[in-house]
Amino acid sequence: MGRYSKQSLEIQVQQLAQAAGVPAADAVIFASSLVDADLHGVSTHGVSRLSIYLRRIQERLIDPAAPLTVDRERGSVLALNAGNGLGQVQARKALDRLIPLARQNGVAAATIRNSQHFGALSWYCNAAAEQGLVLLAMTNCEPAMSPAGGYEPFFGTNPIAASFPTRRGFPVKIDLATSIVARGNIIAAQKKNQPIPEGWALDPEGEPTTDPQAALLGTVLTMAGHKGYALAMMVELFSGVLSGSAVGSNVGSMYKHLDRAQNVGHFFCLFDITALLEYDEYLERMDETIHRIKSSRKRNGVEEILVPGERSARVAAQNLAQGIPLSPDTLSELEQWCRRLKVEFNCHEVAACTIS
Amino acid sequence: MGRYSKQSLEIQVQQLAQAAGVPAADAVIFASSLVDADLHGVSTHGVSRLSIYLRRIQERLIDPAAPLTVDRERGSVLALNAGNGLGQVQARKALDRLIPLARQNGVAAATIRNSQHFGALSWYCNAAAEQGLVLLAMTNCEPAMSPAGGYEPFFGTNPIAASFPTRRGFPVKIDLATSIVARGNIIAAQKKNQPIPEGWALDPEGEPTTDPQAALLGTVLTMAGHKGYALAMMVELFSGVLSGSAVGSNVGSMYKHLDRAQNVGHFFCLFDITALLEYDEYLERMDETIHRIKSSRKRNGVEEILVPGERSARVAAQNLAQGIPLSPDTLSELEQWCRRLKVEFNCHEVAACTIS
């Protein structure tokens, strides 16, 4: 796998997005989101998705220049309509609109309907943390999980996330899907012809399976049984029902449905820390909390206790220094899109590397 | 186990709380919370806790008449100080303060420090739902779980909850501890001399155990491994760090520490649905969502798919009609406290019953 500089990847993605009809400033936002996911080692939400976004733009399933409009507005709350634009662009603009409201009132919230798969939640949460704010973010997604007792995919993997600023050079980042495992892990097992562990998925008849193929045709299980079901429901109600977007199995699939928009819904709630306590005091309290967690007693064989977000911050630092790894498949897709959209292919390896 | 009318239990708890120094109006709030937990089948957060609250009041570890004061205020956000008063009373008053702010600005949030164990989160969330509002609630608690890789209790079972109004006579209620299992289940296994399943807990040396005694001296595991750790951390940061309360293992234990206050922290965020969409449209969307979930395909052997909160609503309806079951232990504690505080004992069985 080759490694590529953050800047060169961002420029390449920007150019392709622009060539597909995304306005220049929006293409910068979009590229930043995709490359940031790869930077943090979340390649499933990174440049590997560019191809399907471009395809959906070309098929007119995404409007690359849609305005973000306000359906309803009261005090610190906005009900927004993404107009079927790029999720990353619209949600980032929504965050920008919430920031002055949160600074003024201490808290601000928005729902966003008519959107798409919008990448990793932590990109938005970390952006808020950089401004000294805490963003709680949720989104519904294309159906993958069933309610407890069922076997029909209804919920997406419905993630929930929040990032908290620290003075340690990285935010404490909570970002988790409510599924027991990412679908990507099942796809990986399928590619390697390996069975998946019991308890991950049901086959299309609702029976437990260890066959990745059957699992992909069936449903992924929620994390922690009924608790994951309850959390997935909460995410669906905040992001789907309250936003006015599609709900549950009505959300379109990014890859399977090339005849209709996804109509994903997002939910943001933004908090200004300084409405609650002095920022320095907050940072001190965070630092002490992190210190106490990291210095607590370790189980046999455990070298270090990490706080959520610490590992991915290390991956990002390494990738920033050494270049971001990109799979040969993703690279070849980039090349093809460059030819198709008449954009110069400019991704040159920083260094060759082996990723375990 | 005998069953008792909701009203008679409420009056009994009110009288005892008042006799212990809780102002009359506050005693009504307090009693309502405890009895509501029993009504919904959550006896661990119900009248069985009255004894320890009264004891802590008598030991001057809880101030039964503490005012709820404002540390800081901006727009829709309040940083509140419970003054070491009863958590149920102070948090319910906090909710009452948030309601007009949420109606005005669409969203409002509060932290509450210097509080106690404050019962079941869903009591607050359901109260909000009755007013057409959605309350997202979190709290830290006395230490029970360690960070991933550790074995020193740091986090409480740190629950998160939210209730959504419906037109079905009960709210969709999400209310879950981030532990794999409630400590109560381990205590129950201990009483029955039964082993606990693997994966529930670590012994005091950090090794996996199936011995309930060792588990109670050690740590309960988080639900869903690292995901539960991340969620417990999020709850701790919102309710502990941001509130200015004790954080993690500094939170006092209700039963073990009879020499100091608990200093628990809570976090509330309240949303006015009508800031986002018309209330009728919301109810329609909720109803359709519930209908689709309940009518989705069921796994073999599953008779009915329930939405979160549906089971506990049925328990509550049954208990309201037939009387609320109270264990002989709890009843005998009530009797003792009546003698001690010179309050007439007035709990008479509605009917005898067998609870499986």
pLDDT average, residue stretch A237-252: 98
Q: Return the domain boundaries, chain B.
A: 1-65+323-356, 68-179+222-315
Predicted confidence band at B352 (pLDDT cuts at 50, 70, 90)? low
Q: How many CA atoms within 13 Å lie on the side-chain side of A155?
A: 33
Q: B207 and A149: CB-CB below 8 Å?
A: no
**pLDDT, tens digit, 9 for 90 and up, residues B23-59:** 999 999 999 999 999 999 999 899 999 999 999 999 9
Check residue B327 and give its pLDDT. Answer: 93
What pTM, to 2 d.p., does this model score? Answer: 0.97
Predicted confidence band at A351 (pLDDT cuts at 50, 70, 90)? low
Fold match between domain B1-65+323-356 and domain B68-179+222-315 = no
pLDDT average, residue stretch A43-57: 96
CA-CA distance, A246 to B223, in Å (whole number)?
Answer: 29
Predicted confidence band at A349 (pLDDT cuts at 50, 70, 90)? confident
Phi/psi for B274 (5° steps) reads -70, -10
Q: B242 and A76: CB-CB below 8 Å?
A: no
pLDDT average, residue stretch A173-198: 91
Chain A nearest CA to B76, separation (Å): 5
Check residue B351 and give its pLDDT. Answer: 61
Check residue B356 and give its pLDDT. Answer: 43
Q: Is B70 on the interface with A (CB under 8 A)?
A: no
Q: B233 and A307: CB-CB below 8 Å?
A: yes
Cβ neighbours of residue A317 closer than 8 Å, sequence gap 6 or more: none
Check residue A238 and give its pLDDT. Answer: 98
**pLDDT, tens digit, 9 for 90 and up, residues A285-300:** 999 999 999 999 999 9
Radius of gyration of chain B measured on its C-alpha atoms? 20
Does A270 have pLDDT greater than 50?
A: yes
Which of A43-52, A177-186, B71-80, B92-101 has the least mean pLDDT?
A177-186
Residues of A with CB below 8 A from B298's CB? 149-151, 206
Q: Is A230 on the interface with B (CB under 8 A)?
A: yes
CA-CA distance, B299 to A187, in Å (whole number)?
Answer: 24
Check residue A19 and give its pLDDT. Answer: 98
- Which tokens is B309 given? 């909160």
Percent of chain A surpassing pLDDT 90: 94
Contact predicate B158/B267, CB 8 Å: no
Residue B130 amino acid letter:
E
Q: Is B269 on the interface with A (CB under 8 A)?
A: yes
CATH no. of B68-179+222-315: 3.30.1370.60
Q: Which of residues 195-214 of B touch A (CB under 8 A)?
A: 202, 206-207
Predicted confidence band at A356 (pLDDT cuts at 50, 70, 90)? very low
Chain A nearest CA to B191, separation (Å): 25
- In chain A, % helix, strand, coil (3-state, to 5) comes to 45, 20, 40
Could you confirm whether domain A1-65+323-356 is CATH 3.90.550.10? Answer: no
**pLDDT, tens digit, 9 for 90 and up, residues A75-92:** 999 999 999 999 999 999
